[in-house]
Amino acid sequence: MRTVFDRFRNEIIIISAVLTACLIATLSLRQPYCSYSKVIQSISSDYLYPEVTNPSKYIAGIEKVEYVINHPEPAIELYEAKIDYHNLIRLSGYEGYLNSYNSYEFNVESLILSNDAHQQYIVEIFRCERPDIDFFDRRNNEKYGFFTYIPRTYIRGGRYNIGLLVNEEGKEYIQWTDAVLEVE
Amino acid sequence: MYVVLLISIFVLLIMAILCYLVLSKQTVIAFSKKVILSGILIALFLSAIFPVYQVMTRTFHTDIVTIRTIPEVNESGEIRSETALCDVKANKWTNHIVEPIEGKWAWTGEYYHWNQYISDKTGNLTKEIKIPIPIGKDRELLFVTDPFSGYVEVEYNGKIERRSLYSDQYGRAVIIIEDSAEESILYDAFQRIALITVLSVVIFCICFLLIYIIGKTPLYSYVCRFRRETEIFLLFLIKIVLYGRYPGSLDYTNSYYFMNYEGGFSSRAILGEMINRFFGPYISSNALSNIKLVCLLSFYAFLSIVLVRVARILQDQKVAVFLVELIILSPFLSIEIIDDVRVDLFINLIFIICMILINKDRFLALVPPLCALMMLNNESSCVFYIASICLMCIYLAFVKKQRTYFTCGITSFLITSLLAIYYFVLGKTGLMDPTEAYLHGILHTDSITNWAAYHAEGLSIGMHLDSASFNFGEQLYDFALLKQSFVGWLILLPYLLLIVMLWRALFIHLSLDGDKSFRIIYLILPLSGFGAVLCMIIGFDYFRFFSFVFICSLSLIVSLAYQTNTRIELRDIRLFRIDKESSNENGGYVRFPILVLLYSAVIGQLDVWTNTSPIVVRTISIIDSITR
């Protein structure tokens, strides 16, 4: 094998250069995409998480559901077709413990969106600092907040209930919130 | 301020002399005095750098100034609502504008900005902001004046000043803020002097103790055995410490980590794409800082290993050290620091890998794709790296008489040329829209992203090469860029002198040998770079890279030639003729490289092109005062 490589070294170099050129050409022609689409995962409607039995030791909730840009300007409508950054929905919330005797691990792992037609989506969340929240024990880096972005076109239209997927002692439960997401 | 600096330098010098006297009495250090001396020098620099940075760039206390925007309606009913705060000056220094403590204006990368359109669109801008400004004297707020600006109100100490920012042309309006109270200025100065003293003493003591303890333990003999490696490592330590503020939150460079191919093809997006793929889609500012720090330290570790291995391979250790120092000082490794590990760290890494592959004669097929990767990362500054790679390939093709090297060099050159043409034809960013890219940036992180970076990438390459980028006009006006280039060359001068010393040694050696053909080649070599060097003076931005191509190629050629001419001793490398019999100690000849090295450590960055560097600004003002 080594002798073959040695014999055709020039050719291999030229082929690698040609392949790289092709790769770059492909790269330049690639379609725009939205990387936030990977935070959404569709799950089977048959699979149901059990509801939380004892939510009193901590507090968690969805605070805000907002569209990133409601009315795109005509000048940038052109780009709307290319990329979905004008079509994002931001969900934000918080969680924390009411006293310092509990574990300091956060429980909320992700969000669950569920509509009447039994379509379910699991949505990844990102932690953020919330210095404005002051009623929790402050020993956990103040990262009480969480948020996520959902591309509007990646979920079907409808009215969704928002649930929090929480992890308690290694088991996953769902805790429904009052927040509702309506997608046209 | 200068008095404080002088005092601290004086104190440090006395401490150094004392240390030297104390240590020179001990017989144990006779074996390797150099190690101890270099340690002391490093301790000196460590203790000097921190305070200098503290003194020059910050005051401990600030005053709060309230800025209000007041839209103005003109006769035709148009609303002029724009207000832009572009600079804060205090104590004759330009200070970086810090974030408002109350209220919010849009940050464009260069100034804080309020206008009705952005306010309506985002809904979270306030008409009033409160910004902290350093306490002191000669304090000014600079606002942009243009045809769209209304009124601005500045409130400080209960006094309100209202100013119209309307102007037919773009310009600046200065609002002078009255001086702080004398007692607070004095208190701040006292605190800074105290901090300098404490920091100097603490850092110096730590370094001194470490060196002293090492001297008393068996580790000392181990350190002496590997003193070259230790020196090189400590040298890198200086560079890291110099950038003690790292990982900085330079919003301009941070923005590049969020520029990727989501919005379309872009010329500098591969690093952002990779980071986004691995760590995305959301990267917090903490995570970003960690990524940057790990990248920097890994790079230095990698570089240390490579350089030490290079030094060990070479027969003459002194020559090896000299070469290693030359490499460290070269613009290759300085630029990566300036850009705050934006893209050039990545390029440096690929460049070193390419050089290793070429030298080891392994996986040569990877070199053209790696060159393409460099080009995708930064289409302008990679030029001098690729030039050196091609040069190395051609050199080895002639030395080893293998066609493969030649193919490797030519294909690397062709593929990067192809990419360059692609950029030139499509424009710099092709499909990427700066607005989209900026939106992507602010959605993917909580660290500050800079619209100016996205805007710069959105500019066509033609913009960088049009008549405006030539400074003939400005030269006729006040010779601004010519002066800047001159100062740049002054800063680079010691490094260039090192190359000249090498070149001279080679030339004299060839003259003694009587090899006329080579002598002519070496004579022509510096002349060949005149075109490239002129690029630095006549033009801006891209032209500086064309200029650096020559410097890097020349240093590579001379280093290779020196390496192949093993008969040349270290004593031959010097600037002037010295009688060999009068000084037989080789160490005397390495004084200049060591001086250059220390000079480089003080300067920190070879910031030869931006007019924001304090050294450049200061030197230009000195030139101005002399010429007027």
A153 vs A160 pLDDT, higher one: A160
Total beta-carbon pairs less than 8 A apart between chain A and chain B:
97
What value does the mean pLDDT take over residues B65-78?
80
Please give the DSSP secondary-structure letter assigned to residue B33: H
Residue A97, pLDDT score: 65
Q: Which residue of chain A has the CA closest to B279?
A: A35
CA distance A176 to B477: 70
Which pLDDT score is estimated for B587?
Answer: 46
Domain boundary, last residue among B439, B465, B491: B465
Q: Can you give the pLDDT at residue B356?
A: 85
Q: Are residues B480 and B415 part of one domain?
A: no
Cβ pair B372:A34 closer than 8 A: no
Closest approach of B305 to chain A, Cα-based (Å)? 28
Cβ within 8 Å, pair B435-A79: yes
Assigned domain for B249 exists: no
Are A35 and B412 in contact (CB < 8 Å)?
no
| Residue in the block written with tokens 């150099």 | B34
Nearest-CB residue to B368 (from A16, A32, A69): A16
pTM of the predicted model as reported, rounded to 2 decimal places: 0.66
**Scanning every residue of chain A, which has its alpha carbon at the shortest distance from the alpha carbon of B118?**
A73
B367 lies in some domain: yes
Q: What is the pLDDT of residues B409-456, one digit of tens each?
A: 999 988 888 887 777 666 555 566 677 777 778 888 887 777 777 777
User: B370 pLDDT band (50/70/90 cuts)?
Assistant: very high
Q: Which residues contact A57 (CB under 8 A, 6 or more apart)?
A: A97, A98, A99, A102
At residue B43, φ and ψ (nearest 5 deg) are -60, -40
A82 touches chain B (CB under 8 A): yes
On chain A, the residues whose CB falls within 8 A of the CB of B418 are 21
Q: Judge contact between A107 and A168, C-beta under 8 A.
A: yes
Give the model's pLDDT for residue B332. 47
Does B313 share its domain with B385?
yes
Q: Do A16 and B440 touch (CB under 8 A)?
A: no
- Structural domain span for residue B309: 259-465
Q: What would the two tokens of residue B409 be? A: 């060099």
Pair B430, B267: CB distance under 8 Å:
yes
**Angle between helical axes of B182-216 and B33-57 (0-180°, round to 10):** 160
pLDDT at B128 over 50: yes
Residues of chain B with pLDDT > 90, as a percent, come to 1
Is B43 in the same domain as B69? no
Q: Do A13 and B418 touch (CB under 8 A)?
A: no
Q: How far is A53 from chain B (nearest CA, A)?
A: 32
Residues B429, B297 share a domain: yes
Q: Name the domain boundary from B180, B215, B247.
A: B180
Residues B494 and B619 in one domain: yes
Residues in A closer than 8 angstroms to B265, CB to CB, are 27-30
Structure confidence at residue A22 (pLDDT):
84
The pLDDT, as a whole number, for residue B338 is 45
Residue B368 has what pLDDT? Answer: 92
**Same domain, residue pair B417 and B324:** yes
Chain A residue numbers with beta carbons less than 8 Å from the beta carbon of B444 are: 35
> What are the chain A neighbours of B407 within 8 Å (beta carbons)?
9-10, 13-14
Q: Name the average pLDDT for chain B.
A: 70
User: Does a structural domain hold residue B396?
Assistant: yes
Across the range A106-121, mean pLDDT stands at 83
Whether residues B263 and B221 share a domain: the answer is: no
Q: Can you tell me the distance from the alpha carbon of B375 to that of B415, in angstroms, rounded to the nearest whole number?
A: 9
**Residue B439: its chain A contacts at CB < 8 A?**
85-86
Whether residue B263 and residue A76 make contact (CB cut-off 8 A), yes or no, is: no
Q: What is the pLDDT of residues B323-363, one digit of tens each?
A: 555 555 554 454 444 445 455 778 878 888 898 888 888 88
Asked if residue B209 and residue B129 are part of one domain, the reply reads no
Q: Does A39 touch chain B (CB under 8 A)?
A: yes
As a whole number of angstroms, the distance between CA B505 and CA A173 comes to 77
Neighbouring residues of B151: CB distance < 8 A, sequence distance ≥ 6: B69, B70, B71, B72, B162, B163, B164, B165
CB contact under 8 A, A13 and B440: no
- Whether B372 sits inside 8 A of A27 (CB atoms) is no
pLDDT given at position A77: 40
Query: Are B363 and B493 part of one and the same domain?
Result: no
Residue B546 lies in a domain: yes
Query: Are B125 and B105 contacting, i.e. CB atoms less than 8 angstroms apart?
Result: yes
Amino acid found at B1: M
- The predicted pLDDT at position A93 comes to 86
CB contact under 8 A, A149 and B443: yes
Q: What's the confidence (pLDDT) of residue A12?
A: 84
**Using one digit for the tens of pLDDT, what is the confidence trace for B268-325?**
888 888 888 888 788 887 788 777 767 776 776 676 667 666 666 665 555 555 555 5
Give the lowest-confidence range in A66-70, B242-246, B344-348. Answer: B242-246
Q: Could you tell me if residue B488 is inside a domain?
A: yes
| Choice between B542 and A179, residue whose per-residue pLDDT is larger | A179
CB-nearest to A10 from B121, B404, B422 is B404
pLDDT band at residue B369 under the 50/70/90 scheme: very high
Within-domain flag for B152 = yes
B521-529 mean pLDDT: 74
Q: Which residues pair with B87 in a beta bridge?
A: B142
| One domain for residues B94 and B174 | yes
pLDDT at A34 over 70: yes
**Of B382 and B232, the one with more pLDDT:** B382
Domain boundary among B225, B251, B280: B225
Residues of A with Cβ-Cβ distance to B412 under 8 angstroms: 17
A28 near B CB under 8 A: yes
pLDDT value of position B339:
47
Residues B491 and B451 reside in one and the same domain: no
Q: Are residues B497 and B573 in the same domain?
A: yes
Q: pLDDT band for B491, please (50, 70, 90 cuts).
A: low
A13–chain B nearest CA distance, Å:
4
Span B175-190, pLDDT tens digits: 888 888 888 877 877 7
Cβ atoms of residues B70 and B143 within 8 Å:
no
Contact call for residues B311 and B321 (beta carbons, < 8 A): yes
**Amino acid B519: pLDDT:** 74
pLDDT bucket at B93, cuts 50 / 70 / 90: low
- The 3-state DSSP class for residue A149 equals strand
Report yes or no on B104 lying in a domain: yes
CA closest to A75 among chain B residues: B435
| Residue in B276, B284, B407 nearest the CB of A10 | B407
Q: Is B341 helix (H, G, I), strand (E, B) or coil?
A: coil
Looking at the 3D structure of chain B, how many domains does it have? 4
pLDDT, greater one: A98 or A35: A35
Q: Which residues contact B472 (CB under 8 A, 6 or more apart)?
A: B538
Q: Is the residue at B230 inside a domain?
A: no
